[in-house]
Structure 1
Amino acid sequence: MNLVFIGPFAFKPKGTVSARAFLIARALVRRGHRVTILMPPYDNLADSGRAWAEDGVRLENMVLRRNDAWHQLTVPLRMARRATRLGPDAVHVFKPIGYSGLAAVALRLFSRRPLVVDTDDWEGKGGWSDVNPYPAPWKALFAWQERWLARRAGAVTVASRCLQEQVAGFGADPARVFYLPNGPDGRWRDLAAISDEDKARVRAELGVGEAPFALYLGHIPQGTDLDLALEAMAALGPELAAARLVVAGVGDGLAGLKERARELGVQDRVIWTGWIEHERSHLVVAAADAIVAPFRDTLINRAKCPAKVVAGMAMGKAVVAGGVGQNVEYIQDGQSGLLAAPGDAHDLARALTAVLSDRELAGRLGAAARRRIWDEFDWDTRAEQVEAAYRAAGAGRQP
């Protein structure tokens, strides 16, 4: 099949394209399909107009210029037009809101190409629209896009059980809804076997030395729950006084977290690395003693499918995560990771203490996590499910 994916933003720093759409595309290419990913790089203007091929997938950024209202307003139509001109057998749109959602609306109204819409977050009312300071008209638009596209797309792919229930509530035919939680990056399969020398070098570069450390790797949005990890660090006992938290990521929530670290008096125990390039991120994961992914019990967290959890498990790391949403689908508590009570910093500290003070336990949990994520969630073994979504969209194509 000739397939076109439409992303919601640039390849990085956010993860929907790099950690979801691209991994699906690459698995499909290995099955003989042709895939082009179109992106509106409003969050990384350095990529404006940039195109390249990676692992057989063609990636194209639309032209966007700073303070150029015309290019910003027309980018959904330009993506829809480019997608149509590529002559696809199906178009797969990632995120039903914003630029990609508007492109999907245009395709549904003006093209008969089979349309599949993917959702990996609860975007509208009760979700990210309640957290991000969007203008009221944008919030109304996003809520409408989520509902309208769920009903009108030929098929819908969802990253979590919560989102599966959401789109069914919007009126989507359950037979056209496909549960596709995030899976590991195939390039990481053989990367866990990193030498002790390389790990020691990374630890030295981070400034942690021999001290145990937990890693948070990923985007840091407004409303992040990473403050729970800061509170957990403050609650660790004296036996882990040398332990460190390494925060590898950027985002609108970063400044507030740094202020919170100062308030808690743990600023000297937290290392802020900024953005780490994908090509190097596996080294930092391999060097970590544990991966931490704190969550409160919110609608956003029930709906999301955290790539950071998947990445840690794929690299054979002990993952400590809030027991909510997809985390409980991935992690078998006490067997392939540890689940902490959502929103409870002291319980998070308990779980972190267990893995940071006992590397043998951390090793056992990590080994079981690696087996589980590759056996159950590898994209190469689930590509047929993606193809089924395209067949459903084609069979249910509306005039």
Structure 2
Amino acid sequence: MLVDNGVNGDSRVQKAARSAAEAGWEVTLLGRSPVTEERTWKLGDATVRLLAMPAPLARRRHEFRRAWLRWPLAYPPSGIAAHRAQAVKAWRADLAVRAAEIAVADPGTPGLALRRRVLTVQQAAAKAAGKWVSLRYWMLTRARTRRKFRNPWDRAYTMFWQAVKGDGAWRRLEPGLWDYELAYGPVVDELAPDLIHANDFRMLGVGARAKIRAAAAGRDIKLVWDAHEFLPGLKPWQDNARWLPAHTAHEREYAPYADAVMTVSDGLAELLQREHRLAVVPDVVLNAPAVEHDELDPDAPAPDLRKLCGIGPEVPLLVYSGAAARQRGLDVMVEALPKLPGVHVALVVNKPAGPYVSGVLARARKLGVGDRVHALPYVAHWQVVPFLSGADAGVIPIHHWPNHEIALITKFFEYSHGRLPLIVSDVKTMAGTVRSTGQGEVFRAEDVADYIRAVRAVLADPQRYRAAYDRAGLLRSWTWEAQAQVLDGVYRRLLPGRPAVADHLDEPVPGDPLPALGVGT
């Protein structure tokens, strides 16, 4: 299995690796190490290896040049700026010590007055040097950060390479994709796998190229592409006109090499089939929580959500769990609080001290509700459901983006298994599901007044919404154990006659799995 992150925090990948190993497959999960050395551990019976990945190709050529015209005084991008800044700090620290020595010296010490005058001159020089270094360092920072890949030149550059190289244009537009190949490719070749499970768009290329090399060496590798999202519908994480065309071209080049495709929802499966002209609709493996995996660390039970927020059981608590970004709609939860007296909000996010969340917290303080908004870090994936169940309702306030419309996302299932009433924006698939099951309320995305209406309705009668989870088979169909059957079925279709399936995978899933809600089989 291949993934482009550090594994921790990616519950889908962790569950897939662990359940495949439990089904009898020998699983090695390769991820990207956050440090310069490799890390290895066990995830159930699967082996996790995080590979060191230098990324020099991810830096653009302009980052190595001086911007003479726009920032003529900027330091060269050679590292000298940090050296100069530190040198000035050291100089001023030395002068501070010398000033302290003079302050405690005997007034009758010979030459003391001269030393004071010399020190005063040196302090003034150090102060001036500090301002000069700061100015040049600031210009260097501006030169690095102000260059955006969305100006007419970059759009023309992108169009030129698309015209010249077609789907191969990514090699010019996003050469950093080669950094993944150079880190992962040799390890994949060394492992000589029978099957590669490539998670998402970056790893698709790594897996496809390994498959091609193996074929040239006389070995057959089956490639499974697990598409977590619809790449053309992504909002690029960078302010970069090249990013999306490059990655979509990369995906189109290597999609034909996949022997099987799986994804997270029926809607996304249909989009992928149309986009890549796939012969069959991809298999659907929902991002459902694992309810039968034993805790990886039985001595580390889930933290208490309310205790971390500093509130008791009687206080109304709304929780959001997931990545923090503007398009996730966290702002609406804060803007509504002045009209929801006594209600608290817990934001369980990937970067609780990041710039976006810091801005949300600052807005809460400005509105006078700062003491009712709590930013908390992620917990281990096996702790998520019991952790979130401490809230009164789970909120999914995401905005209208193509990828938000087509799937039941991970937090939807986690909230459901915590038996939380849901408050979701009117994105297509989730809103339709909530209306069908009756497990929550739907509000118009980015509409604070309608969000307030939905919150009040849920908090007024939470048991009405919790009762939806009593429907026979509903929660069982929304478990990873049900999805693991699909995953194992894909593997066995590609590699028939391989390991015997674990007994639990042959058990039928009780109840009607509600095919209209995006449950794949």
Regarding TM over 0.5, the answer is yes
Stretch moving more, 310-319 or 252-261: 252-261
Asked if 2 retains the 8 angstrom alpha-carbon contact of 1:220 and 1:249, the reply is yes
Partner of 2:64: none
Cα distance in 1 for residues equivalent to 2:381 and 2:489: 30
Cα distance in 1 for residues equivalent to 2:252 and 2:471: 35
| Match of residue 249, structure 1, among 345, 349, 359 | 349
| Match of residue 419, structure 2, among 316, 319, 327 | 316
Cα distance in 2 for residues equivalent to 1:111 and 1:222: 43
Residues 175-234 of structure 1: CA deviation (Å, up to 9, x unaligned): 2521222111225799xxxxxxx99x6423321223110111122135322222223334
Stretch moving more, 112-121 or 220-229: 220-229
Partner of 1:385: 486
Q: 1:265 to 1:53 in 2, by over 3 A?
A: same
SS at 1:273 equivalent: strand
Deviation at 1:303, TM superposition (A): 3.8
Deviation at 1:279, TM superposition (A): 5.8
Partner of 1:219: 323
SS at 2:336 equivalent: helix
| Match of residue 30, structure 1, among 5, 22, 33 | 22
Alignment of 1:261 with 2:364, yes or no, is yes
Partner of 2:51: 62
Cα distance in 2 for residues equivalent to 1:219 and 1:33: 31
Unpaired runs of 5+ residues, structure 2, are 60-175, 216-220, 296-301, 497-521
Asked if 2 retains the 8 angstrom alpha-carbon contact of 1:119 and 1:159, the reply is yes
Give the AA of the match of 1:217: S
Asked if 2 retains the 8 angstrom alpha-carbon contact of 1:122 and 1:303, the reply is no
Q: 1:184 to 1:255 in 2, by over 3 A?
A: same
Identity of aligned residues (%): 21
Alignment of 1:335 with 2:438, yes or no, is yes
Asked if 2 retains the 8 angstrom alpha-carbon contact of 1:6 and 1:37, the reply is yes
Cα distance in 2 for residues equivalent to 1:189 and 1:344: 41
Asked if 2 retains the 8 angstrom alpha-carbon contact of 1:228 and 1:294, the reply is yes
1:155-170 to 2 correspondence within 5 Å? 155-170=260-275
1:1-399 to 2 correspondence within 5 Å? 5-13=1-9, 18-41=10-33, 45-46=34-35, 48-64=37-53, 74-97=179-202, 100-112=203-215, 113-124=221-232, 126-129=233-236, 132-175=237-280, 177-187=282-292, 202-209=305-312, 210-221=314-325, 223-236=327-340, 241-251=341-351, 253-262=356-365, 264-278=367-381, 280-328=383-431, 331-333=434-436, 335-365=438-468, 367-368=469-470, 372-373=474-475, 375-390=476-491
Residues 63-93 of structure 1: CA deviation (Å, up to 9, x unaligned): 1369898999543233233223323221111
Cα distance in 2 for residues equivalent to 1:371 and 1:231: 37
Asked if 1 retains the 8 angstrom alpha-carbon contact of 2:327 and 2:399, the reply is no
Unpaired runs of 5+ residues, structure 1, are 191-197
SS at 2:242 equivalent: helix
Cα distance in 2 for residues equivalent to 1:228 and 1:161: 29
- Compute the TM-score of the two structures, normalised by the length of structure 1: 0.79
SS at 1:22 equivalent: helix
Deviation at 1:7, TM superposition (A): 0.8
Give the AA of the match of 2:2: I
Cα distance in 2 for residues equivalent to 1:189 and 1:338: 33
Residues 163-185 of structure 1: CA deviation (Å, up to 9, x unaligned): 21221222332425212221112
Stretch moving more, 290-299 or 350-359: 350-359
Higher relative contact order (CA 8 A, sep 6+): 1
SS at 2:347 equivalent: strand
Give the AA of the match of 1:116: V
Alignment size in residue pairs: 365
